Amino acid sequence: MRRVKLLLVAGAAAIAVPASAQQPAAKRAAVAPPVGFAAVDKAFADFRSKTPVPGMAYAVIVDGKLAHVRYFGEQEENRKAPVNADTRFRIASMSKAFTALAILSLRDQGKLRLDDLAEQYVPEMRGWSYPTSDSPRIRIRDLLSHVGGFVTDDPWGDRQQPLPAADFTAMLAAGVPWSRPPQTQMEYSNFGYALLGRIVTNVSAMPFDRYIVQTIMQPLGMTKSGYEFRDVPMANRAIGYRWENERWVEEPTMAHGEFGAMGGVYTTVEDYARWVAFLLSAWPPRNEPETGPVKRSSVRELGQGLNFVNVRKRFGGPEKDECMWGQAYAMGLIAIRDCTLGFTLSHGGGFPGYGSYMLLAPERRAAIFGFVNRTYSGPAEAVWTSLLAIDNQTMIPPAKREVAPILTTFQSYAFNAYKAGNLAPLQGKLAMNFLMDRSTENWAAEFAKVRKDVGLCTSAEPLFATGAMTTAFRWNCERGHVNGQILLAPTNPPTLQALRLMPIPN
């Protein structure tokens, strides 16, 4: 591996993330988190040792702040210009989330519905012949989640980036071959996201790129981001390369065109950190004024993985890791339930000359992303390894679970019923099914049996709520513990529909 120049930026970067991209000041730390990101730097160093790249940048965002950033190598090989804070990278398919959010913003304005047929806004689709007589016609929602029935098209789709609008119109009018009927399986389609770009253009009455820049990027302060890479001064471009015949070969700088909706965004580390902080600020749901360019609930909707779930082994985990992921493509982002980080959103970007990857952990209020200027070389494993490492070092906040007061109240009722040995403390609090499922006499026998195993219970540990109407609990008893669950019924006021007890003797 050839030697690369190194530029370090230690500590929290000196940028001001706009209010729209932050959590409310009252709920945010006054200072950036501590700098101790050696595990992150090691993960990316390991990536570079296995996958040499001309240049690279990566960053960690914690609680809305750009907490750690590093720049390595050259943005351009001939002049040996170092990667720096002004370097623009193309982020390829990480652009899809911008397009998806643009669709949701138009939906919020009442200009379209996700269940509308796409052909309502793209008339060239109306004459398409579908693969079977019972095929559903494509909805906007299908395009967002890659279930439109189109073939996976990464190599071809990437080279369509400069396609002019008139040529795309002619392509649509000619119809498409089908990989499968719509809504039967997820299959990644850049063509489908180009269609979403056309919908944004037709509905907003302005080119999709201008709509996204004006309604999303500019309000977030992303002043160094856009779509037409040829407009970026050469001094600020990360030139794209591929490794071929034992040397770096420059990739052609493709112009912006209709397929920019699937992969055309360029940005800097600091600008992209503003975008990531804005996404993270949508969690948790709360009673506070909206401050962003798109509603928090719509940002959270980007993570609704409603289509076909895939199960796979986690990468980036510790040695002998047994964690299995359940993942689904949501809207411009991949939703994954991770064993450690909980709910996560991620996406990679691969493009001639560029690779990128981003990972958000909303329940940890943290994210990591990385950019490189080498073809199809996104640092996915380094990103996952990094976030898992700093979580293991307790450098990012754990998920904060709010417990609804009603759950605390019902635990008290249940605790007193166990102490009394009967349901009297729960009188008037039971749902209509409760005594149909188990009689008063049988509950008295159950309490007596549990008390025989563990004795009287003297205290309760903090509740582990899984929602506003259900919680697990643990009581400390004379000869062990009682683990249990409270499940309330959807009545007004709430009533107890299920109580489960499991004695754990010493």
Q: Tell me: the pLDDT tens digits for 243-268?
A: 999 999 999 999 999 999 999 999 99
Residue 134 has pLDDT above 50, yes or no: yes
Tell whether 334 is covered by a domain: yes
pLDDT in tens, 457-502: 999 999 999 999 999 999 999 999 999 999 999 999 999 999 999 9
pLDDT in tens, 348-382: 999 999 999 999 999 999 999 999 999 999 999 99
Measure the CA–CA gap between 337 and 325, rounded to whole angstroms: 6
**Overall average pLDDT of the 389-398 stretch:** 91
β-bridge pairing 324-329 and 334-338: antiparallel
**Overall average pLDDT of the 172-182 stretch:** 97
Asked if residue 141 and residue 28 are part of one domain, the reply reads no
- What's the pLDDT band for 2 if we cut at 50, 70, 90? very low
Asked if residue 246 and residue 353 are part of one domain, the reply reads yes
Number of structural domains, the chain? 3
Q: What is the pLDDT of residue 402?
A: 85
Residue 400 has pLDDT above 50, yes or no: yes
Tell whether 398 is covered by a domain: no
**Overall average pLDDT of the 206-222 stretch:** 98
Asked if residue 221 and residue 369 are part of one domain, the reply reads yes
Tell whether 400 is covered by a domain: no
Residue 44 has pLDDT above 60, yes or no: yes
Q: Name the residue among 421, 428, 426, 392 with its Cα closest to residue 410.
A: 426
pTM, two decimals, is 0.89
Above pLDDT 90, what percent of the chain? 88
CATH number at residue 45: 3.40.710.10
Asked if residue 173 and residue 121 are part of one domain, the reply reads yes
Asked if residue 264 and residue 183 are part of one domain, the reply reads no
Asked if residue 149 and residue 97 are part of one domain, the reply reads no
H helices within 334-379, ranges in order? Answer: none
Least confident stretch, 42-56, 388-402, 461-475 = 388-402
Instruction: Go through the chain and tell me how many residues it has.
Output: 506
Average per-residue pLDDT for the chain: 92
Domain boundary among 175, 204, 233: 204
- What's the pLDDT band for 401 if we cut at 50, 70, 90? confident
Asked if residue 284 and residue 340 are part of one domain, the reply reads yes
Asked if residue 384 and residue 307 are part of one domain, the reply reads yes
Q: How is residue 421 written in tokens?
A: 């040995």
Asked if residue 442 and residue 381 are part of one domain, the reply reads no
Measure the CA–CA gap between 83 and 72, rounded to whole angstroms: 6
Q: Name the residue among 272, 258, 164, 280 with its Cα closest to residue 224.
A: 272
Domain boundary among 172, 204, 236: 204
Q: Which domain holds residue 478?
A: 405-505
pLDDT in tens, 5-35: 333 333 333 343 433 333 333 333 333 444 5
**Overall average pLDDT of the 283-301 stretch:** 96
Written as one string, the DSSP assignment of 404-437 is: -HHHHHHHHHHHHHHHHTSSGGGTT-B-TTHHHH
Least confident stretch, 161-170, 224-233, 311-320, 457-466 = 311-320
Measure the CA–CA gap between 199 and 180, rounded to whole angstroms: 23
Residue 242 has pLDDT above 50, yes or no: yes
Handedness of CA 166, 171, 175, 176 (dihedral sign): negative
Tell whether 462 is covered by a domain: yes
Q: Name the residue among 256, 89, 122 with its Cα closest to residue 192.
A: 122
Asked if residue 98 and residue 112 are part of one domain, the reply reads no
Q: Are residues 224 and 127 in contact, defined by beta-carbon separation less than 8 angstroms? A: no
Asked if residue 323 and residue 217 are part of one domain, the reply reads yes
Q: What is the pLDDT of residue 398?
A: 83
pLDDT in tens, 337-346: 999 999 999 9
Residue 50 has pLDDT above 90, yes or no: yes
Angle at the Cα of 393 (from 389 to 399), degrees rounded to 5? 90
Residues 6+ apart with CB under 8 A from 169: 124
Residue 504 has pLDDT above 90, yes or no: yes
Tell whether 279 is covered by a domain: yes
**Overall average pLDDT of the 69-86 stretch:** 95
Tell whether 97 is covered by a domain: yes
Query: Phi and psi at residue 342, in whole multiples of 5°?
Result: 80, -140
Tell whether 196 is covered by a domain: yes
CATH number at residue 490: 3.10.450
Q: Are residues 480 and 453 in contact, defined by beta-carbon separation less than 8 angstroms? A: yes
Q: What is the pLDDT of residue 57?
A: 98
Q: Are residues 421 and 444 in contact, defined by beta-carbon separation less than 8 angstroms? A: yes
Asked if residue 213 and residue 269 are part of one domain, the reply reads yes
Domain boundary among 392, 425, 453: 392
Tell whether 80 is covered by a domain: yes
